[in-house]
Structure 1
Amino acid sequence: MIAETGHYALVLALALALLQSVLPIWGARTRDAALMGLAGPLAYGQLAFVALSFAALTHAYVTSDFSVVNVVENSHSAKPLIYKISGVWGNHEGSLLLWVLILTLFSALVAFFGKNLPDRLRADVLGVQAMISVAFLLFVLLTSNPFARLDPAPMEGQDLNPLLQDPGLAIHPPLLYVGYVGFSMAFSFAVAALIEGKVDAAWARWVRPWTLGAWLFLTLGIAMGSYWAYYELGWGGFWFWDPVENASLMPWLSGTALLHSAVVMEKREALKVWTVLLALLTFALSLLGTFLVRSGVLTSVHAFAVDPARGVAILIILIVFVGGSLALYALRAPTLKQGGMFAPVSREGALVLNNLFLTAATAAVFVGTLYPLALEAMTGEKISVGPPFFNNTFGPLMLPVMLVMPFAPLLAWKRGDAARAARAMVYAVGVAVVATALVAGFARGGPTLAPLGVGLALFAITGAFAELVERSKLFRAPFAESVRRLRGAPSSTWGSALAHAGMGVTLLGVVAATAWPSEAVVALKPGQSVSISGYDLTFEGVSQRPGPNYASTIAALTVRKDGAVVRRLEPSRRLYAARQMDLTEASIATFGLSQLYASMGEARGDDATALRVTYKPLVTLIWFGAVIMALGGGLSLADRRLRVGAPRRAAKPVPVSAHPAPAE
């Protein structure tokens, strides 16, 4: 009965979404306050019914209700509780239900926090958001019903894909979906503004918090997915340019460009047409990611579905929303008034340059990801576009972004002083030059350009705080005054500095981990050792250990440094009986910012076991940098000046007569 309740709740949510997609927009056109006022209650009701449906599916998983097909195909009674819960979204149907839940949550948040938005804009935004909900609710109900019953019900389920039975995969999809769906708010605001034919600085202020929140969660989601691939897939890589990985990177890149463009629009009312276009394209890329994961057009460890019919349905959604919004954009864009002019050397100019290279990098990833699919569809020829293409195109396009990034905050709006900005960056340039020289002199092996990569990363890290140094007059004013100035700096300034520094930290980790790793692939018998980067690893033997829904074969390794035991590694291979699937589990030891990584291969007939041991210097900086970026985004979001809606203008006060009339 609970499963049927969840299904009917989705039907009721669809009915409310249909009403929300029509009545408020019609009310905005006819200036009917009552119809516009329905947007909020309808959004709350829609969220309540979708949340009820999601709770019903979660209950089916937790109680192992094997009369529900979705539970049978993706759960097992012996599975740990955390994976029963994460199994709700570890499949196509459940993940779409989570997508719709987050979508309705954002609608409700706009209804709650956007009460100071103009009534017409609020009604239009919630109406457009409801249209997206209608599309996905129809998709769930017609093609991907998570509550389909099975009669008779089996005694046991088929278990969740073992690759997904991991804490990282319990967290990664929700974070990623909040990012994907969060960009729907920028889309809805853009379409609403185009319907009204009005885009101004206030619009940029309204849209920026939602974009920043989506960007923050997408950053964390991509980082968590990267770390999961690093330790779970057993190959020790953190990014493989997999098409589904690229599908999450593209909206992140365009979303980053949108954030910077919205700043220019808010401050100077410039780049209106470009900012609106970025808002449309960023959500379009989020929908593209959904299509790639669920269409069956590619094979990936990240893919959820291989049903072409579902892929066609998502493609129709993609065409309708992207095509419709771009048609509206083509109609309205020529009528939008342009903002103020600015000199090439200015903060606006630097941010425009940032936008150009970020969008070019997005285009490079887009072409590399979709070209093989398009070629196969048209000619039947299969080709693969791998890391060499992306490294040789994406890297050079991001180089100018890293170089210009620290300079932009030092330039004034409208017309900047390049010489003054250069003087403020002298210390950052000095750090970069010294670091490059030291690394080139002392590093052993590695690519020729790797020392320059280290220098560039340190330039970005130190240069990120140049604006704070200038604001505080550090070393040019009494220390107490500098501290006071730093404490008084807006949180968005601190957030921007941290986000930019986080980019440099991630780059430093990428350069070090890819340029100077050490690896040994050996077959050891008990008692034998292997040395790598100053560590001695002794193989102690193999043991068996049962798990809740798997059996483990574990290789024990004792790690010594200068003769002293410093750590114990236990890489393993797990056999999941329900799916008869063998999975490698790496074991990782962290030393400072570097890691020693061990994975286990097949046992040999002579009692030897194949092992791969890798030492990756500074590899943790890759994900630490992403956390710093997200922290920077959070600080910017907390800025008291950055509100969900610009405040309404107060009514003009009525002059009071100096000689009030006598009371009657």
Structure 2
Amino acid sequence: MLIQMIPEIGHFALVVAMLMAAVQAVMPLAGAALRRPLWMAFARPMAAGQFLFVVIAYLCLTASYLFDDFTVANVANNSNSMLPWYYKLSAVWGNHEGSVLLWSLMLAGWSYMAARFSRDLPRDMVARVLGVMGLVGVGFLAFVLVTSNPFDRLLPNAPSDGADLNPLLQDIGLILHPPMLYMGYVGFSVVFAFAIAALLGGRLDAAWTRWARPWTNLAWAFLTVGIALGSWWAYYELGWGGWWFWDPVENASLLPWLTGTALMHSLAVTEKRGSFKSWTVLLAIFTFSLSLLGTFLVRSGVLTSVHAFANDPSRGFFILVLLGITVGLSLLIFALRAPRVSHQVGFNWLSRDALLLINNILLVIMTVTVLMGTVYPLLLDALDLGKISVGPPYFNALFVPLTVIMSIFMGLGPVSRWKRMDGRELVKRLWLSGVAAVVIAAVMPFIIGGEWNLWVALGLVTALWIVLPLVRDLFDKTRNAPTRLAGLKKLSLAHWGMVLGHLGLAVTIVGVAVVSNFAIERNVRMSPGDSVSVAGYTFTMRDLTSRRGPNYIGEGAEFEVRRGDSQRSFFMNPEKRTYIARGMPMSQVALRPGLFRDLYLAMGEDLGDGSWAMRVQYKPFVRWLWLGALLMAAGGALAVADRRYRRLATAKDPEKAVEVRTAGEAPA
């Protein structure tokens, strides 16, 4: 009886959570405007209550999946009694309704964390921040209850079993990818709330940027990991061997990442120098707005993609209205308040301030480039002006040169000074790095691929230009220390976060350049006993096998792989699966991973005479793509751990805490 009531308990919990979000939105904002401390005091308990009841709702939906309650439409459409329990957990968010509930859970969780770790901030600021997050929470919980209720029933005609989870989503990557991605998306709501609260309170000073920076870095780190996991999943699960397809849904996650990167650097300049105030607020607004736009693209049904879940125009219209209200009201508040912001901070065009501004502009141009390539075909289709396809040639032709230009200024940044710097001093610090980058990049393509390649050399010189000035900067910062190690220990965690972040981008650039130009692919027809040679490796099909999994039937192949004339060998076992409930075929790729190369085997179609179509690939340096992303995310997380943020959390006067500086601290 209790199991049958679980969906009703979950639905009731969502209603209560929405009511609490409404109170969290109205009372604190009204209290801050009217200077009513009692009304402002509603903010924290309502944030905690909203989080608690959304957790209850989410646990109820999870229980419905684990208990195979096929009277719940969401469970019947996305699960099956044969589905392993761990995939039932990911099936909770592997559909439209569950994914929006996960979004709401993340939003409530970030709101609770903002309430929990802001006890020493001014009361009116906290009230405004949590009030703005409450407004966003109302919007998404209303979206869940009105258009996307995960607890809708199929009574009295419930099926005896479910339709099963989409086989594409039955993978460890999809257990980890959506939560990480959503943590990034929704995490930017906190800095958005801080920006709006600062505008409402007329407090566009260094204080709000100090409060907002750790939340921004943490959200950016989660989003970076989420994007990397999505790329990794597409690489080994879809059977194509690609790591980025410029798919519109992939682009939807890249957009807030680009503006979020610009936002991190802009917050650093505003905190350190007091400049870029209006620019920083706009970036905070647009970053969260692009997160909402990504949600609209994925959940509205306007896109056809393996990543997209929804196909209901009413849902898309609801999110579009929510996006319009968020952007419209935010820009209206900015227009009314921003003219009052003034600062007298100047800088020379040869300074760290100017270099960060240029890179921010380039990041925004890259964002607009991706946005136009993603949305323009949709607009033409919506207006019945024809259908066009914008693919990799467009994005690569614009995105790659912009990345190279941005990297040039990134290399200049670490060794430049704030406000102004002499050009001769900059050349003196960087000439050796430049020469070394060119020489090494000219030689390395021969070592990596056995031939010279212009694009690989360009990628390597770009990456080295990012890394070598960092080394020079570390050398300069530790020159006067008793020992180099002692000097390195004095550098702040924020500085090491910056180093890791820039190093991660360089590693990713190397991976992109090498695998894009030196990868080898062979599509061949093979039967037992046949061999094919790729990049010095000999792949011999030894046998064909059959197996039965918990919810699928599989046909596999056993390959023996040797390198050159070596007597040592290893085995790889690709598989072609047919999932019973859906009758859907899927390739299970066999991978032999390595730091400097991957070997990749994927089964195609059964050709009917005992032979199979096989895709054999050699992928040099492909792991560097995701290694670089992990280094970038680690840099963002490390910056959050900087002791000046811990000092802020315990400071009696957070306004004064802003003025404290740490030896060796870096701006980004």
When the two structures are superposed, what TM-score results if normalisation uses the length of structure 2?
0.95
Aligned equivalent of 1:49: 53
**Alignment partners' CA distance in 1, 2:297 and 2:181:** 15
Q: Which of 475, 480, 483 matches 1:481?
A: 483
Which residues of 2 match residues 14-413 of structure 1 at below 5 A? Answer: 14-151=18-155, 152-413=157-418
Structure 2: gaps spanning 5 or more residues: 657-668
Q: Using the alignment, how far apart are the partners of 2:95 and 2:509 within structure 1?
A: 33
Among candidates 552, 571, 578, match of residue 581 of structure 2: 578
With over 3 angstroms needed to count, the CA separation of the structure-2 counterparts of 1:650 and 1:558, relative to structure 1, is closer
Structure-2 separation of matches of 1:28 and 1:573: 61
Secondary structure, counterpart of 1:425 in structure 2: helix
Quote the residue 1:460 is aligned against.
Answer: 466
- Separation in 1, partners of 2:175, 2:473: 39
Letter in 2 for 1:490: S
Query: Which residue number in structure 1 is paired with residue 538 of structure 2?
Result: 536
Residue identity in the other structure for 2:513? V
Shift in Å, 1:63:
1.4
Shift of residue 318, structure 1, vs aligned partner: 0.5
Report the Cα distance in structure 1 between the residues aligned to 2:66 and 2:174, rounded to whole angstroms.
17
Contact 2:40 2:123 in 1 (8 A): yes
Contact residue 497 and residue 637 of structure 2 kept, 8 A: yes
Segment drifting more, 459-468 vs 83-92: 459-468
Q: Take 1:290 and 1:446, find their aligned partners in 2: how far apart are those partners? A: 43
Q: Tell me the distance in 2 between the aligned counterparts of 1:460 and 1:611.
A: 40
Who is 1:657 aligned against?
A: none
Q: Distance in 2 between matches of 1:422 and 1:82?
A: 57
Compare 442-451 and 210-219 and name the one that shifted more.
442-451
**Residues 646, 280 of structure 1: alpha-carbon distance in 2 compared, 3 angstrom cutoff:** farther
Structure 2 residue identity aligned to 1:453: G
Please tell me whether the aligned partners of residues 598 and 614 of structure 1 are also in contact (alpha carbons under 8 angstroms). yes
What do residues 386-412 of structure 1 show as CA deviations (whole Å, max 9, x unaligned)? 000000011111112111113212212
Structure 1, residues 21-50: CA drift from partner, whole Å, max 9, x if none?
A: 110111111111111111001100110000
For residue 329 of structure 1, report the CA deviation from its aligned partner: 1.1
1:572-631, Cα deviation, whole Å (9 max, x unpaired): 111011111011111110233210111111122332211110101111000000011111
For 2:147 and 2:286, the matched residues in 1 are separated by 26
Shift of 1:339: 4.6
CA distance in 2, matches of 1:608, 1:456: 45
Residue 548 of structure 2 aligns with an amino acid whose one-letter code is: P
Q: Aligned partners of 1:321 and 1:573: how far apart in 2?
A: 46
Taking a change above 3 Å as real, the CA distance of residues 325 and 610 of structure 1, as seen in their structure-2 partners, is same
Q: Note the C-alpha offset of 1:650.
A: 8.6
Q: Does the aligned pair in 2 maintain the 1:567–1:589 contact within 8 Å?
A: no
1:645 to partner: Cα distance: 5.6
Matches of 1:446 and 1:315, distance apart in 2: 49
Give the aligned residue type for 1:588: L
Q: Is this contact kept in 1: 2:259–2:364, CA < 8 A? A: yes
Give the 3 Å change call, closer, same or farther, for CA 450–456 of structure 1 in structure 2.
Answer: same
Q: For residues 592 and 394 of structure 1, what CA distance do their matches in structure 2 show?
A: 26
SS at match of 2:643: coil
Q: Alignment partner of 1:415: what SS?
A: coil
Q: CA deviation at 1:440?
A: 5.3
Range with bigger deviation, 219-228 or 428-437: 428-437
1-side partners of 2:534 and 2:609: how far apart? 24
* Equivalent residue letter for 1:497: V
Structure 1 counterpart of 2:38, one-letter code:
A
Call closer, same or farther: CA 1:639–1:422 in 2, change over 3 Å. Answer: farther
Q: Could you tell me how far 1:418 is from its partner in structure 2?
A: 3.7
The separation in 2 between residues aligned to 1:339 and 1:549, in whole angstroms, is 67
- Take 2:655 and 2:277, find their aligned partners in 1: how far apart are those partners? 28
Q: Secondary structure at the match of 2:210?
A: helix
How many residue pairs match? The answer is: 648
Q: Kindly indicate whether the alpha-carbon contact (under 8 Å) linking 1:601 and 1:609 is maintained by their aligned counterparts in 2.
A: yes
CA distance in 2, matches of 1:351, 1:41: 40
The offset of 1:651, in angstroms, is 11
Q: d(CA) in 2 for partners of 1:317 and 1:261?
A: 27
| Counterpart in the other structure of 1:9 | 13
Q: Measured at CA, do residues 414 and 493 of structure 1 come closer, stay the same or move farther in structure 2, by a change above 3 Å? A: same
Which stretch shifts more, 375-384 or 618-627?
375-384
For structure 1, which runs of at least 5 residues remain unmatched after alignment? 653-664
Distance 1:416 1:266 in 2: 20
**Aligned equivalents of 2:258 and 2:645: distance in 1?**
22
Shift in alpha-carbon separation, 1:646–1:263, aligned structure 2, 3 A: farther
* Aligned-residue offset at 1:566: 3.3
Q: CA deviation at 1:464?
A: 3.1
AA matched with 2:554: S
Aligned to 1:656: none
C-alpha root-mean-square deviation of aligned residues, in Å?
1.7
Match of 1:508 in 2: 510
Decide whether aligned partners of structure 1 residues 193 and 371 sit closer, same or farther in structure 2, where only a CA change above 3 A counts: same
Question: What letter is aligned with 1:324?
Answer: L
Q: Which amino acid aligns with 1:382?
A: K
% same residue: 48
Deviations 1:483-508 (A, max 9, x none): 10101110111110010010000000
Query: Aligned partner of 2:147: which letter?
Result: T
Which amino acid is 2:617 matched to? T
Are the counterparts in 2 of residues 446 and 515 from structure 1 also a CA contact under 8 Å? no
Preserved contact between residue 207 and residue 655 of structure 2 (Cα < 8 Å): no
Amino acid of the structure 1 residue aligned with 2:120? N
- Which moved further from structure 2: 406-415 or 93-102? 406-415
Q: CA deviation at 1:376?
A: 1.2
In structure 2, distance between residues paired with 1:228 and 1:55 = 26
Structure-1 residue corresponding to 2:591: 588
* Preserved CA contact (<8 Å) 1:206 1:645: no
Counterparts of 2:146 and 2:384 in 1: how far apart (Å)?
32
